[in-house]
């Protein structure tokens, strides 16, 4: 599906010339070549330039120390719909096999410590960075965790928070994942860490979008 010829076949109607199509297919096939599958795989979605090759090597070294492999996908050049505050532009994705090992207590502390170290490392790279040269929108980063075959949750690690708060948020992740509501299909699978309550809080994205729309409408009418 993600080899060069398959990409060319899918995107042929988008490009005017064969040269443009071939160039696009070559670049995208190269991007997809870094995606891996397996029970011990942790996946990173990122932008090259914010996370560079040296960073990738350091992340791979951290994960390999606990027998995890890094799969990755550079999102540069790929169009995505964005809701800014409620979208993780960069994410460290933990799939069901790794999550279940953690939740069942079958792993050593070293496994979760390596994942937290990796998350903080990426958070530091993203902190203060913008998605484009014009400084808007601010990049978001967090954990995308599959809690069952049907359910994924996004946990935003706010790049405006302090590092101690991020460590505190990560320390509460496993407790959150053990809650029954996190394992149920829902539209409210986006979480932020509340610094006042010291706990993860679900965000009703539909309600928040309506609030933003009302604010925008009020500004236009004022």
pLDDT surpasses 50 at 167: yes
Domain check: are 80 and 18 in the same one?
no
CB proximity list for 103: less than 8 A, separation 6 or greater = 174, 177, 178
Token pair of 209, please? 């979008």
Shared domain for 21 and 129, answered yes or no, is no
| One domain, residues 22 and 107 | no
- Least confidently predicted of 70-74, 88-92, 105-109, 126-130: 105-109
User: What is the number of structural domains in the chain?
Assistant: 2
Residues 126 and 46 in one domain: yes
Average pLDDT, the chain: 83
pLDDT at 19 over 50: yes
Angle, alpha carbons 120-203-167 (nearest 5°): 20
Choice between 93 and 135, residue whose per-residue pLDDT is larger: 93
Task: Check whether residue 124 and residue 192 sit in a common domain.
Answer: yes
pLDDT at 133: 46
Do both 23 and 117 map to the same domain?
Answer: no
- CA distances 174 to 146, 148, 160, 161, 187, Å, are 13, 14, 23, 20, 21
pLDDT in tens, 178-207: 888 887 776 668 999 999 999 999 987 777
Question: Among 52-61, 77-86, 149-158, where is mean pLDDT lowest?
Answer: 77-86
My answer on whether 112 and 23 are in the same domain is no
The answer, yes or no, to whether residue 45 has pLDDT greater than 90, is: yes
Pair 29, 42 in one domain: no
Residue 59: which pLDDT band, with cuts at 50, 70 and 90? Answer: very high
pLDDT tens digits, 123-164: 999 987 766 544 456 788 999 998 877 788 999 999 999 999
What is the spatial distance between Cα 50 and Cα 202, in angstroms, rounded to a whole number?
A: 28
- 88 and 65, same domain (yes or no): yes
pLDDT for 5 equals 78
**Residue range(s) defining the domain that contains residue 17:** 1-33
Do 21 and 41 share a domain, yes or no?
A: no
């Amino acid at each position: 599906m993600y080899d060069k010829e398959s990409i060319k076949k899918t995107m042929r109607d988008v490009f005017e010339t064969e040269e443009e199509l071939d160039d696009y297919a070559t670049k995208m096939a190269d991007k997809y070549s870094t995606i891996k599958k397996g029970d011990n795989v942790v996946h990173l979605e990122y932008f090259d330039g914010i996370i560079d090759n040296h960073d990738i090597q350091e992340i791979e070294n951290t994960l390999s120390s606990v027998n995890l492999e890094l799969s990755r996908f550079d999102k540069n050049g790929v169009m995505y719909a964005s809701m800014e505050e409620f979208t993780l532009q960069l994410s460290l994705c933990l799939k069901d096999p790794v999550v279940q090992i953690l939740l069942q207590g079958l792993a050593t502390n070293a496994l979760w410590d390596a994942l937290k170290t990796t998350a903080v490392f990426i958070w530091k790279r993203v902190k203060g960075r913008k998605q484009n040269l014009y400084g808007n929108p601010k990049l978001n980063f967090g954990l995308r965790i599959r809690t069952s075959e049907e359910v994924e949750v996004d946990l935003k690690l706010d790049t405006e928070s302090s590092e101690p708060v991020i460590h505190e948020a990560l320390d509460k992740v496993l407790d959150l994942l053990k809650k029954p509501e996190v394992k149920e299909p829902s539209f409210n699978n986006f979480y932020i860490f509340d610094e006042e309550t010291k706990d993860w809080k679900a965000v009703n994205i539909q309600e928040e979008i309506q609030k933003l729309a009302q604010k925008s409408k009020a500004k236009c009418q004022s």
